[in-house]
């Protein structure tokens, strides 16, 4: 039997850790009004899910989970590039990165 992290740290602790990181990211999205920080919080949430996927993948001994993480990373990279481009455009138009600058989107 090969040595594994799960001998000393049970899977539950990885779940709890990624759960905490996910919730911190969620608080960031709800709390901050700076669009850049909101984006970073979304990244944090995506990463928490990635960590969970890798933990389960290692736990089950099935590399599919890690391939999936790879795809999540690609989508996250694309999302950030587009999001920041949109953010630049908003900044150019309203000269602010405060979410309240886009209040009209509510209606």
Partner 1 sequence: MDQAIFYGLALIAIVGALATIFFRNAMYSVLALVVTFFAMAGLYLQLKAEFVAVVHIIVYAGAIMVLFLFVVMMLNLNSVNTIIRSNVNIKWIAVLVGVGMAGILGYGTYLTTLPARGVNSTENGTVKVLGKMLFNEYLLPFELTSVLLIATMVGVIVLTKKEE
- Least Å distance, CB 106 to partner 1, is 14
CB 54 within 8 Å of CB 66: yes
Distance between CA atoms of residues 90 and 40, nearest Å: 17
Residue carrying the six token digits 């996927």: 53
- Looking at beta carbons only, is 82 or 102 nearer to partner 1? 82
Residue 71 or 107 with smaller CB distance to partner 1? 71
| CB-nearer residue toward partner 1: 81 or 102 | 81
Least separation in angstroms between residue 40's CB and partner 1 is: 5
Q: Where are the alpha helices (DSSP H) in 9-97?
A: 11-31, 35-60, 64-94
Minimum CB distance to partner 1, residue 107 (Å): 19
């Amino acid at each position: 039997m090969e040595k594994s992290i799960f001998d000393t740290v049970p899977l539950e602790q990885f779940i709890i850790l990624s759960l905490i990181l996910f919730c911190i990211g969620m608080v960031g999205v709800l709390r901050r009004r700076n669009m850049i920080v909101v984006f970073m919080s979304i990244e944090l949430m995506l990463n928490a899910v990635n960590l969970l996927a890798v933990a389960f993948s290692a736990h089950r001994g099935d590399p599919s989970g890690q391939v999936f993480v790879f795809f999540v990373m690609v989508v996250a990279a694309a999302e950030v590039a587009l999001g920041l481009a949109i953010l630049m455009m908003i900044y150019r138009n309203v000269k602010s990165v405060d979410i309240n600058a886009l209040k009209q989107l509510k209606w």
